[in-house]
Amino acid sequence: MTNVLENLELVDVEIEEGKATLTFLDESAGEIRKININKKAFDADKSKWIESEEKAQAAEDKAQKHFGTSFDDLEQAIGQRHDIYTYEKFNSLTEVKMTEKFSKDDEGLIFQTEITKVFEDNVGIHIEFEYEGQTYESKMSYSDYLANRKMFLVDPIKKAKRYEQFEQKFNVPIENKDELIGQQITVEVKIAMGKYPYSEIKNIPNRK
Protein backbone atom coordinates (compact mmCIF):
# COMPACT_ATOMS: atom_id res chain seq x y z
CA MET A 1 0.00 0.00 0.00
CA THR A 2 1.25 3.44 -0.89
CA ASN A 3 1.82 5.88 1.96
CA VAL A 4 1.93 9.58 1.09
CA LEU A 5 3.78 12.05 3.32
CA GLU A 6 2.44 15.47 2.44
CA ASN A 7 4.32 18.74 2.19
CA LEU A 8 7.78 17.59 3.32
CA GLU A 9 10.58 20.17 3.17
CA LEU A 10 13.67 19.50 1.06
CA VAL A 11 16.47 20.18 3.56
CA ASP A 12 19.59 18.89 1.82
CA VAL A 13 20.93 18.05 -1.66
CA GLU A 14 24.18 16.22 -2.37
CA ILE A 15 25.40 15.74 -5.94
CA GLU A 16 28.30 13.37 -6.56
CA GLU A 17 29.40 11.50 -9.68
CA GLY A 18 26.12 12.01 -11.49
CA LYS A 19 23.85 11.10 -8.56
CA ALA A 20 21.78 13.59 -6.61
CA THR A 21 20.63 12.57 -3.13
CA LEU A 22 17.68 14.64 -1.94
CA THR A 23 16.80 14.62 1.77
CA PHE A 24 13.30 15.56 2.90
CA LEU A 25 12.38 16.19 6.54
CA ASP A 26 9.31 14.57 8.07
CA GLU A 27 9.04 16.85 11.11
CA SER A 28 6.03 15.14 12.68
CA ALA A 29 7.78 11.75 12.75
CA GLY A 30 11.27 13.08 13.41
CA GLU A 31 12.51 11.21 10.34
CA ILE A 32 14.18 11.93 7.02
CA ARG A 33 13.25 10.52 3.61
CA LYS A 34 15.87 10.29 0.87
CA ILE A 35 15.33 10.15 -2.88
CA ASN A 36 18.04 9.56 -5.48
CA ILE A 37 18.08 10.99 -9.01
CA ASN A 38 20.76 9.29 -11.09
CA LYS A 39 22.21 10.42 -14.43
CA LYS A 40 24.05 7.13 -14.89
CA ALA A 41 22.76 3.63 -15.69
CA PHE A 42 23.82 0.44 -13.94
CA ASP A 43 25.45 -2.05 -16.31
CA ALA A 44 24.61 -5.46 -14.84
CA ASP A 45 27.10 -7.28 -17.06
CA LYS A 46 30.00 -5.04 -16.01
CA SER A 47 28.66 -4.51 -12.47
CA LYS A 48 29.26 -0.76 -12.55
CA TRP A 49 27.55 2.56 -13.26
CA ILE A 50 28.09 3.90 -16.78
CA GLU A 51 27.31 7.10 -18.67
CA SER A 52 23.87 7.08 -20.26
CA GLU A 53 22.38 9.83 -22.44
CA GLU A 54 18.89 8.46 -21.80
CA LYS A 55 19.28 8.41 -17.99
CA ALA A 56 20.95 11.83 -18.02
CA GLN A 57 18.05 13.32 -19.98
CA ALA A 58 15.52 11.64 -17.70
CA ALA A 59 17.30 13.05 -14.63
CA GLU A 60 17.33 16.51 -16.17
CA ASP A 61 13.64 16.26 -17.03
CA LYS A 62 12.79 15.14 -13.49
CA ALA A 63 14.72 18.05 -11.96
CA GLN A 64 12.93 20.54 -14.21
CA LYS A 65 9.48 18.99 -13.72
CA HIS A 66 9.52 18.67 -9.94
CA PHE A 67 11.88 21.43 -8.82
CA GLY A 68 11.98 23.96 -11.65
CA THR A 69 15.76 23.84 -11.88
CA SER A 70 18.49 21.99 -13.75
CA PHE A 71 19.99 18.81 -12.31
CA ASP A 72 23.28 20.57 -11.50
CA ASP A 73 21.41 23.38 -9.70
CA LEU A 74 19.17 21.19 -7.54
CA GLU A 75 20.67 22.73 -4.39
CA GLN A 76 18.68 25.84 -5.27
CA ALA A 77 15.50 23.83 -4.56
CA ILE A 78 16.33 23.47 -0.84
CA GLY A 79 13.37 24.79 1.11
CA GLN A 80 10.77 23.60 -1.40
CA ARG A 81 8.00 21.34 -0.11
CA HIS A 82 6.76 18.21 -1.88
CA ASP A 83 4.55 15.19 -1.28
CA ILE A 84 6.67 12.03 -0.93
CA TYR A 85 5.44 8.52 -1.72
CA THR A 86 6.99 5.97 0.62
CA TYR A 87 7.49 2.25 0.00
CA GLU A 88 9.14 -0.57 1.92
CA LYS A 89 12.58 -0.10 0.36
CA PHE A 90 12.51 3.32 -1.31
CA ASN A 91 10.84 6.73 -1.55
CA SER A 92 9.58 8.47 -4.69
CA LEU A 93 8.37 11.84 -5.96
CA THR A 94 5.58 10.07 -7.85
CA GLU A 95 3.36 7.07 -7.19
CA VAL A 96 4.95 3.82 -8.37
CA LYS A 97 2.90 0.83 -9.46
CA MET A 98 3.98 -2.05 -7.25
CA THR A 99 3.41 -5.76 -7.71
CA GLU A 100 1.33 -7.49 -5.04
CA LYS A 101 2.60 -10.46 -3.03
CA PHE A 102 0.79 -13.64 -2.10
CA SER A 103 0.58 -14.68 1.55
CA LYS A 104 1.34 -18.01 3.24
CA ASP A 105 -2.41 -18.64 3.35
CA ASP A 106 -2.41 -18.74 -0.47
CA GLU A 107 -0.17 -21.83 -0.56
CA GLY A 108 -1.50 -24.36 -3.06
CA LEU A 109 -3.57 -21.81 -4.98
CA ILE A 110 -3.59 -22.70 -8.70
CA PHE A 111 -5.10 -20.46 -11.36
CA GLN A 112 -4.87 -19.57 -15.04
CA THR A 113 -4.11 -16.10 -16.32
CA GLU A 114 -2.00 -14.46 -19.01
CA ILE A 115 1.38 -12.73 -19.08
CA THR A 116 1.11 -8.94 -19.15
CA LYS A 117 4.78 -7.94 -19.07
CA VAL A 118 8.28 -9.46 -19.22
CA PHE A 119 11.37 -7.43 -18.42
CA GLU A 120 14.90 -7.64 -17.05
CA ASP A 121 16.79 -5.51 -14.56
CA ASN A 122 19.99 -5.98 -12.55
CA VAL A 123 18.17 -8.46 -10.29
CA GLY A 124 16.81 -10.90 -12.86
CA ILE A 125 13.89 -11.68 -15.18
CA HIS A 126 10.43 -10.53 -14.12
CA ILE A 127 7.26 -12.08 -15.54
CA GLU A 128 4.14 -10.09 -14.58
CA PHE A 129 0.54 -11.33 -14.64
CA GLU A 130 -2.79 -10.39 -13.06
CA TYR A 131 -4.94 -12.19 -10.50
CA GLU A 132 -8.28 -10.81 -9.30
CA GLY A 133 -7.46 -7.37 -10.69
CA GLN A 134 -4.04 -7.07 -9.03
CA THR A 135 -0.57 -7.34 -10.62
CA TYR A 136 1.76 -10.10 -9.40
CA GLU A 137 5.08 -11.41 -10.71
CA SER A 138 7.20 -14.51 -10.96
CA LYS A 139 10.89 -13.71 -10.69
CA MET A 140 13.91 -15.60 -12.04
CA SER A 141 16.75 -13.98 -10.10
CA TYR A 142 20.39 -14.08 -11.15
CA SER A 143 21.95 -11.54 -8.80
CA ASP A 144 23.11 -11.43 -5.19
CA TYR A 145 22.68 -8.46 -2.86
CA LEU A 146 25.90 -7.06 -1.38
CA ALA A 147 24.91 -5.29 1.81
CA ASN A 148 28.17 -3.32 2.11
CA ARG A 149 27.61 -1.82 -1.36
CA LYS A 150 23.83 -1.65 -1.08
CA MET A 151 23.30 -3.05 -4.57
CA PHE A 152 22.56 -6.22 -6.49
CA LEU A 153 25.45 -7.70 -8.47
CA VAL A 154 24.97 -10.16 -11.32
CA ASP A 155 26.34 -13.70 -11.09
CA PRO A 156 27.16 -14.48 -14.77
CA ILE A 157 26.94 -18.26 -14.28
CA LYS A 158 23.56 -18.00 -12.56
CA LYS A 159 22.40 -15.60 -15.29
CA ALA A 160 23.28 -18.09 -18.04
CA LYS A 161 21.39 -20.83 -16.18
CA ARG A 162 18.33 -18.60 -15.78
CA TYR A 163 18.34 -17.85 -19.52
CA GLU A 164 18.42 -21.59 -20.20
CA GLN A 165 15.60 -22.22 -17.72
CA PHE A 166 13.58 -19.37 -19.23
CA GLU A 167 13.79 -20.88 -22.71
CA GLN A 168 12.90 -24.36 -21.41
CA LYS A 169 9.87 -23.00 -19.54
CA PHE A 170 8.50 -20.63 -22.18
CA ASN A 171 9.87 -22.13 -25.42
CA VAL A 172 11.34 -18.80 -26.56
CA PRO A 173 14.83 -17.36 -25.96
CA ILE A 174 15.12 -14.35 -23.68
CA GLU A 175 15.70 -12.12 -26.73
CA ASN A 176 12.11 -12.88 -27.84
CA LYS A 177 10.51 -12.34 -24.43
CA ASP A 178 8.01 -9.79 -25.76
CA GLU A 179 6.37 -12.59 -27.76
CA LEU A 180 5.02 -13.91 -24.46
CA ILE A 181 2.71 -10.94 -23.82
CA GLY A 182 -0.82 -12.36 -23.77
CA GLN A 183 0.41 -15.95 -23.39
CA GLN A 184 -1.90 -18.10 -21.25
CA ILE A 185 -0.15 -19.56 -18.20
CA THR A 186 -0.92 -21.69 -15.16
CA VAL A 187 0.40 -20.33 -11.85
CA GLU A 188 0.79 -22.10 -8.52
CA VAL A 189 1.56 -20.37 -5.22
CA LYS A 190 4.28 -22.20 -3.28
CA ILE A 191 6.22 -21.55 -0.08
CA ALA A 192 10.03 -21.43 0.03
CA MET A 193 11.88 -22.40 3.22
CA GLY A 194 8.59 -22.72 5.03
CA LYS A 195 7.79 -19.00 5.07
CA TYR A 196 8.35 -17.19 1.74
CA PRO A 197 5.43 -17.33 -0.76
CA TYR A 198 6.35 -17.28 -4.44
CA SER A 199 4.61 -17.76 -7.78
CA GLU A 200 5.63 -20.70 -9.93
CA ILE A 201 4.63 -20.54 -13.59
CA LYS A 202 4.16 -24.01 -15.02
CA ASN A 203 6.10 -24.94 -18.15
CA ILE A 204 4.34 -23.98 -21.36
CA PRO A 205 3.88 -26.98 -23.70
CA ASN A 206 5.96 -26.96 -26.86
CA ARG A 207 4.36 -25.10 -29.74
CA LYS A 208 3.88 -27.35 -32.76
Residue 1 has what pLDDT? 53
Residue extents of the structural domains in the chain: 3-92, 104-201
Residue 193, Ramachandran bin (φ over 0: left; ψ between -120 and 50: alpha; else beta): left
Residue 93 has what pLDDT? 94
41 within 8 A of 26, measured Cβ to Cβ: no
Say whether pLDDT at 114 is over 90: yes
Percent with pLDDT over 70 in the chain: 95
Between residues 151 and 106, which one has the greater pLDDT? 106
Distance CA 59, CA 38 (A): 6
Q: What pLDDT, in 10s, does the model give residues 24-55?
A: 999 999 999 999 999 988 776 666 788 888 88
Closest by CA to 170, choosing from 160, 182, 158, 159, is 182
